[in-house]
Structure 1
Amino acid sequence: MHRMNHAKRSAAVIGVGRAGLLGVLALASALAAGHLVAALININASPYLAVGNGAIDLTPVELKDFAVRTFGVYDKLVLLLGMAAVMVIAAALAGIASRRSPVPGAVAIVLFGLVGVLAVAQRPDLGVVALLAPVASLLAGTAVFLWLHRVARPHDELVEGGQPSRRSFLVAGAGVVVGAGVAGAGGQWLAGARDAASSRAAVGALVPARTAPAIPADADFAKLGTPTFLTPNKDFYRVDTALSVPQVRTEDWSLRLHGMVENERTYNYADIRNRPLVERTITMTCVSNEVGGSYVSTANFVGIDLADLLAEAGVRPGAEQLFSTSVDGWTCGSPVAAAADPGRGAMLAIGMNGEPLPVEHGFPARLVIPGLYGYVSATKWVIDLEVTTWAARRAYWLERSWAEQAPIKTQSRIDFPKGFETVPAGKVRVGGIAWAQGTGIAKVEVRVGQGAWQETTLSREVNADTWRMWWHEFDLPVGNHQVTCRATDKSGYTQTDQRMGTVPDGATGWHVINFTTR
């Protein structure tokens, strides 16, 4: 009798591997259920994405800037993978802690669920109905965990060796895997079925009434190693806080213009598309661009003058800020003086390089205000424009210690040779790009080591809002060399050698590379 009681007590304790697995399976069920329900409401209500978006919002500026510099466009993928790893480990540990009783795991699931509910509740782009997604996740995760725990820990049934049967647990686990897979895939399919690709395709060609001047053949030195003057859409830099790219169809989109104006206005896509469109060639730069960084690109944007919209609305005296909001709740503050200045060329853009805006670059519409870093000028998926004051509204990045005013700083970059590259000795060409949007580049100089500055050959200027390419040739012997560049804009300002990081209003310093000749 004593041996039988001992066998029953042993059978009541779930093995470590099985306990960890049931925790992970419960997690998969919870996430899949939440994703499926979110697909019916708003995909950002998926607890996994909502927690990820919350993590982005709470991440310190320095760490966020490091992620952008280090991982580039893959920063969000790294975040999602890191979250997945942490959640799997936590779920496995919760399962292991529940070998004798389901209470620890159930408590962990409730805590996870509450985090999901809180993350969804704090999203500015989601309503109360979106809470159904994390609630579904919580209920599914709890139900699956308790069921698997009961299956994995039969209280009375003993088999040979005094161990509980594994077959029932394996069958149940396989069923959970299939169910979670179907739910997750179904959610992804539903979300994809409502994407903006078909709506974008239906827009067709955007023919501007005023086209940008043709790009001259000598506007770049791409054959030598600079970028092409116009950046292909697929290569245009992308930096934003959107964990999942918003999917907005033209038939659902509208833009509200309100606040300190005489006449509030609301526009649909046809209202914008049917106006006389203008095309402008503009170089955009991200404030997260380090010295020598790649977050600068140029495109032909098509849209309408933002100044016209503001003039029609009638901006009231005292207005300072154009507070714009994206469909995903991200906010941006732009100076009204820049947005309303016809000479600045600020745009509500709907096209890019001869086609409708790519979805990841803001389709159906975005702001483009030349001469300002993107975080104060380039709201993508824009749906709301409020004319207000700086004191009345604080945008996303202002709340995170970035500057209120952010004109793009005069900068230059070396593109060839690459850092630490080995090239033949003798005649060595050095080249790259420079930009001073709104002012224009007057000259770029380079030097080898601490030698004299040499003025470079500049490409043809397209306009003051675009970058210019440059190159120079040195006669270099075999050895190691260091090359530095600096730009001077048309105001006479020469960029400083003082190295400063990107926070709070953009990096400064000379770009320096080292390479070897043989």
Structure 2
Amino acid sequence: MNHRTTTDRKVVKPTPAELMEDTGTGLDYGTRPDRMVGDLTATDRFYLRSHAPTPEVDAATWTLRVEGKGVRESISYTYDDLWQRYPLVSLVRTIECAGNRRVLFGAEVGRTFAGTQWGRGAIGTAEWTGVRLRDLLEPAGIAPGACEVMAEGLDEIRARRPMPLAKALADDTLVALAMNGEVLPADHGFPARLVVSGWLGAASIKWLGRIEVAEDPIHVPWNTEDYVLIGPDFPADAPARGPAITTLPVASLVELPWPALLRPAPQIVRGRAFAGENRIAAVQYRIDDDPWQDALITSPVTPGVWVRWQFRWHPEPGEHTIRVRATDDQGNTQPDSTPWNELGYLHQSVLAHPVCVEPPAATARSEANV
């Protein structure tokens, strides 16, 4: 055994309310949208999603084992092997939980979904540095009949999620060793984690310990009971209760508190949009019942990475609603409603973001009291 679990807290890093939103599980913390700054999410506020407490792993004794019927021989790697024997690559990629916005999905359909009660903050973007997964699979000798690859973590419940061989061999599927230029923090997967571009966060397994290559489809709770779409629009495919979630749909967020309080003065409203494996092609906004207008995209447009957008607004005092909709390069536009599913996944509806603009007198009184 090369790890133990911390006992004082379920996670290691601080999760202050001024940066993070507490979902109440002790494990899961979202990033406050009004604390997102720059193209990358700072590590101190990158959202946390775990199925069990953060394990404490000793890199000196840690190994990553590649095995299964889909390889000719099993092979193990040490931490030093990954740093020293293989080319390191750095990729900027966004990771989002499939349950992001579950609370808002519940408000839309008038019910409370089970699962982590996410607001809008279960999404983040980092620069990940590590070794391409294919560089670690190929020395084991991939068998002609190999079809799936499953990563397994060292947390208490051994979180695991299979993917097709082609996705495992993709240029941007990475065994990450560093995040935003520093060694992976414990909560984010030290000593090594997977980064599966454009897919749900559950595929980017943390605290890697084992990788299985299989010649037959692999069925585990994370692709049969959980992280699947269950509902009348999603037929079951035994043993799975519904289609397994892979890539993520197009969605957007406004970098304001919910609800927001603004002054009656010129504003720049900013936000993010993400389209999973696709590129964002356009972002539009609408104030109250005004026509839709184009927002300005202010960051590079890349598959697997969110974009930043903004627009200028001089609001009048009173209650307002901001709506934003993004469109990807395949022509998919955010809908007004999301297909119902039992676990409240993949919410992508256009959100009616409430904004209160103070009257000028209130603004003057507030400034006088500073």
TM range (shorter): 0.7 to 0.9
The answer to whether structure 1 residue 286 and structure 2 residue 97 are counterparts is yes
Query: In the alignment, is the contact (CA less than 8 A) between 1:226 and 1:469 conserved in 2?
Result: no
Query: In the alignment, is the contact (CA less than 8 A) between 2:89 and 2:132 conserved in 1?
Result: yes
Question: What is the TM-score normalised by the length of structure 2?
Answer: 0.75
Query: In the alignment, is the contact (CA less than 8 A) between 1:486 and 1:510 conserved in 2?
Result: yes
CA distance in structure 2 between the partners assigned to 1:359 and 1:401 by the alignment:
24
CA distance in structure 1 between the partners assigned to 2:344 and 2:224 by the alignment:
9
1:334 Cα deviation from its structure 2 partner = 2.2
Match of 2:112 in 1: none
Match of 1:90 in 2: none
Q: What secondary structure sits across from 2:56 in the alignment? A: coil
The answer to whether structure 1 residue 339 and structure 2 residue 168 are counterparts is yes
CA distance in structure 2 between the partners assigned to 1:436 and 1:70 by the alignment:
23
CA distance in structure 1 between the partners assigned to 2:154 and 2:288 by the alignment:
50
1:404 Cα deviation from its structure 2 partner = 2.1
Q: What secondary structure sits across from 1:311 in the alignment? A: helix
1:407 Cα deviation from its structure 2 partner = 0.3
More helix by share: 1
What one-letter code is carried by the residue in structure 2 that aligns with 1:297? G
Give a deviation string over 1:362-413, Cα, whole Å, max 9, x none.
11111001010111x2111111000125644324353336242420111100
Q: Which has the higher contact order (CA 8 A, sep 6+)?
A: 2
Match of 2:185 in 1: 358
What one-letter code is carried by the residue in structure 1 that aligns with 2:97? C
Q: What secondary structure sits across from 2:61 in the alignment? A: coil
1:414 Cα deviation from its structure 2 partner = 1.0
**Closer, same or farther in 2 for the Cα pair 1:472/1:304, shift >3 Å?**
same
CA distance in structure 2 between the partners assigned to 1:504 and 1:387 by the alignment:
31
Query: In the alignment, is the contact (CA less than 8 A) between 2:63 and 2:78 conserved in 1?
Result: yes
Match of 2:336 in 1: 497
Kindly, what percent of the aligned residue pairs are identical? 27
Query: In the alignment, is the contact (CA less than 8 A) between 1:431 and 1:469 conserved in 2?
Result: yes
CA distance in structure 2 between the partners assigned to 1:390 and 1:496 by the alignment:
36
Match of 2:327 in 1: 488
Match of 1:516 in 2: 356
CA distance in structure 1 between the partners assigned to 2:27 and 2:314 by the alignment:
44
More strand by share: 2
Query: In the alignment, is the contact (CA less than 8 A) between 2:3 and 2:56 conserved in 1?
Result: no
What one-letter code is carried by the residue in structure 2 that aligns with 1:454? Q
Give a deviation string over 1:456-506, Cα, whole Å, max 9, x none.
011121632211111112343222111100001122221222135683652
What one-letter code is carried by the residue in structure 2 that aligns with 1:253? W
- State the aligned residue count: 310
Match of 1:446 in 2: 285
For residues 403-422 of structure 1, what are the structure 2 equivalents within 5 Å?
Answer: 403-416=243-256, 418-422=257-261
For residues 85-234 of structure 1, what are the structure 2 equivalents within 5 Å?
Answer: 227-234=37-44
Unaligned runs of 5+ in 2: 11-19, 105-118, 229-242, 360-370
CA distance in structure 2 between the partners assigned to 1:45 and 1:252 by the alignment:
18
Match of 1:461 in 2: 300
**Closer, same or farther in 2 for the Cα pair 1:44/1:501, shift >3 Å?**
farther
What one-letter code is carried by the residue in structure 1 that aligns with 2:259? F
Q: What secondary structure sits across from 1:476 in the alignment? A: coil
RMSD value, Cα: 3.0
After TM superposition, the runs of 4+ consecutive aligned structure 1 residues lying more than 4 A away are 40-46
Match of 1:434 in 2: 273
Relative to structure 2, which stretch is displaced further, 388-397 or 292-301?
A: 388-397
CA distance in structure 2 between the partners assigned to 1:225 and 1:470 by the alignment:
15
Q: Which of residues 389, 394, 399 is equivalent to 2:225? A: 399
CA distance in structure 1 between the partners assigned to 2:3 and 2:313 by the alignment:
58
Match of 2:125 in 1: 298
Question: What is the TM-score normalised by the length of structure 1?
Answer: 0.55
Match of 1:212 in 2: none
What one-letter code is carried by the residue in structure 2 that aligns with 1:511? L
